[in-house]
Structure 1
Amino acid sequence: MGAVPDEEAKSPAGSDTEIESLAEFDAAATHATLAGFRVQSVDLTTRTPVLLRTDTAGAVFLGCAMEPDAAAKVRADGALVFPPVPHLPFDPYRGTLYSPAELFEGLAAGYERTPDALSYAWFQRTKADGDIFSSMLRSIHDDAISDALDELLVGARVVGVMGGHAMGRGTAEYEGAAVLGRTLARAGFTVATGGGPGAMEAANLGAYAAPFDDAMLGSALEILAEEPSFRPSVSAWARAAFEVRTKWPRGGTSVGIPTWFYGHEPPNAFAGSIAKYFANATREDGLLARSNAGVVFLPGAAGTVQEIFDNATPNYYESRGGPTPMVLVDRAHWTERLPTWPLLEALAEDRPMAGRIALVDSVSEAPGALARMSR
């Protein structure tokens, strides 16, 4: 069954120098020097004695809480110290991706009280006033998220599943997307989506359901159908998802990559790891670039059309090491309602990408199309 690698996994570039937990800090500090290390968003207020006796010259501390005497000492050593920023609803220096529980903390009091909603509200305020400090914090946050996402996906075979947020729970289309996510996860792929509602949630739900028997998904779909949309109430919509997670804990994992740029779309609670960005362009490119085993495009509107051609461009130019499979689902949708397929086919003519694009009638055909194009 497909699974995201352990969240403590490191990329080769950062494996020897990045410290993102107290356990990693304690292990590194046994060598009596932290020179050259990058300590990222670790609360070090209980490690004052260690910091006072350890060489920290050349170290960088990003958002690490420290007692004043410890902070003064490491600065005197020549370390760079970027202190925590107070009164933010998010941590710009975080070393790991978000979990659903973290973003939806406080949901019982209403979605508007959660870190996810508060971060969107902060974004709305600060992007309007043009404050350079806030802009810098957003950039630091998004870079930290990209770093954590790369570390998480080392060695993973990632299939992206794209589709519209309007796909309602309780529909045949939603069930089909969920079955797709389950099929891909059981085949050993890591499912990655835009992390929002609709088709994205369905695919993440399917991956979550992968370890259970087939009946579990049907039961979960019935629970979710009671709250078919995040409109008018995100709170009720999200609570239904957490009801499923509570009834069937320890489900399969997948990745959601949403954005606060589209803050009216909440993240879904079925992606085990959530890479949420402020900059939508960074999010879009990052999602598609990391889908190294192909992308399935379910019916959608403007956003999904944009993603098709965002992915077609590097495939056309072979700029990511060669074309990766692209599967468009629903012939009528992509040839009549939004005739994207004819243009994609024209672009691919006489190029290697021609063998890496497919149009299928139903979502059940997508895994087979991916497999054929991956040979």
Structure 2
Amino acid sequence: MSETPQPVLPFTTPQAVRFDRALLDSHRSDPGEEAWRAMRIQGEFVNAFDVLGNLGPAIAVFGSARLGEGRAEYDAGRQVGEQLARRGFAVVTGGGPGIMEAANRGAQDAGGVSVGLGIQLPFEDGFNHHIDLTVPFHYFFARKVNFVKYTQGAVVLAGGIGTLDELFEVLTLIQTGKVSDYPVALVGVAFWTPLIDWLRGTLLAAGTLSEADVIRPLVTDDPAEAVAHATGADGSE
């Protein structure tokens, strides 16, 4: 397989951007258009359920689209993908560039199943070239449901607002009992420790969360330790 990073594969159009944005625009609520949009949402779930229904054991890997080859975070993502594949787990990412590409690439390098749940974004428009199963989405909420439905844990590497959104979505589902036995590992001690310190020093101190919420994610610099935790191999389940 080529060592040269490949461009992403486009799957959406500018028209789709406007159509999707209209969903959350309270000033554009034509009943006829809304009915068609509801059918489109249903179609996204039907397609994803059909494609992913027989996936088998899988782990979600989240991380920044902006940290590409040559970065330590990219190398860590590739190691995570390789080690998950060697343990018999499919690797499920957002399908984009950066750390997502790294994890998908690592999974393919190790002969595993590489999955991309892609979403149309104005600055990240398509799938990377290291994916075996591609599932396109227009709606974040449909994509999030399928991320959790078809994986048994998550490894989260350095990322921005999108990665934090995915992390806290998972932690919210765990805290509220919507999912169980879903281990989460954070890779990058220097990156994640300030967030954990803020949760403990500010939110826990204010009484807005519990000690279990703070200690739930494993924080490590070791991709192997993160993979062992996410897959339950360390007894975390």
TM value normalised by structure 1: 0.51
The RMSD of aligned alpha carbons is 2.8
Contact kept? 2:74, 2:98, Cα under 8 Å: yes
Larger RCO (CA under 8 A, 6+ residues apart): 2
Residue 283 of structure 1 corresponds to which residue in structure 2?
Answer: 143
CA-CA distance at 1:254 after TM superposition:
1.9
AA partner of residue 331 (structure 1): V
Distance of aligned partners of 1:172 and 1:340 in 2 relative to their CA distance in 1, 3 Å threshold = same
Distance of aligned partners of 1:163 and 1:206 in 2 relative to their CA distance in 1, 3 Å threshold = same
CA-CA distance at 1:141 after TM superposition:
3.7
In 1, distance between residues paired with 2:172 and 2:48? 23
In 2, distance between residues paired with 1:340 and 1:120? 39
- Is residue 195 of structure 1 aligned with residue 195 of structure 2? no
Picking from 283, 302, 324, the partner of 2:182 is 324
Contact kept? 1:192, 1:256, Cα under 8 Å: yes
What are the ranges of 5 or more consecutive residues in structure 1 without an aligned counterpart? 1-102, 105-113, 212-251
Within 5 A, what are the aligned runs for 1:138-177? 138-151=37-50, 152-154=52-54, 156-177=56-77
Deviations 1:190-231 (A, max 9, x none): 1111111111111111111112xxxxxxxxxxxxxxxxxxxx
Distance of aligned partners of 1:364 and 1:123 in 2 relative to their CA distance in 1, 3 Å threshold = same
Contact kept? 1:142, 1:277, Cα under 8 Å: no
Contact kept? 1:330, 1:363, Cα under 8 Å: no
Deviations 1:41-95 (A, max 9, x none): xxxxxxxxxxxxxxxxxxxxxxxxxxxxxxxxxxxxxxxxxxxxxxxxxxxxxxx
- Is residue 274 of structure 1 aligned with residue 134 of structure 2? yes
CA-CA distance at 1:171 after TM superposition:
2.4
What are the ranges of 5 or more consecutive residues in structure 2 without an aligned counterpart? 1-7, 23-27
Within 5 A, what are the aligned runs for 1:81-120? 104=9, 116=11, 119-120=12-13
CA-CA distance at 1:318 after TM superposition:
1.7
Distance of aligned partners of 1:128 and 1:178 in 2 relative to their CA distance in 1, 3 Å threshold = closer
- Is residue 313 of structure 1 aligned with residue 175 of structure 2? no
CA-CA distance at 1:256 after TM superposition:
0.9
Deviations 1:15-55 (A, max 9, x none): xxxxxxxxxxxxxxxxxxxxxxxxxxxxxxxxxxxxxxxxx
In 2, distance between residues paired with 1:317 and 1:121? 37
Distance of aligned partners of 1:274 and 1:301 in 2 relative to their CA distance in 1, 3 Å threshold = same
Picking from 161, 165, 179, the partner of 1:302 is 161
The SS at the match of 2:136 is coil
Distance of aligned partners of 1:265 and 1:137 in 2 relative to their CA distance in 1, 3 Å threshold = farther
In 2, distance between residues paired with 1:128 and 1:312? 26
TM value normalised by structure 2: 0.77
| Structure label with greater radius of gyration | 1
Residue 199 of structure 2 corresponds to which residue in structure 1?
Answer: 343
Contact kept? 1:294, 1:325, Cα under 8 Å: yes
Quick one: percent identity of the two aligned structures?
29
Within 5 A, what are the aligned runs for 1:235-246? none
Contact kept? 1:185, 1:210, Cα under 8 Å: yes
AA partner of residue 277 (structure 1): F
Within 5 A, what are the aligned runs for 1:113-128? 116=11, 119-127=12-20
CA-CA distance at 1:188 after TM superposition:
0.8
In 1, distance between residues paired with 2:37 and 2:108? 30
In 1, distance between residues paired with 2:21 and 2:44? 23
In 2, distance between residues paired with 1:283 and 1:264? 18
AA partner of residue 234 (structure 2): R
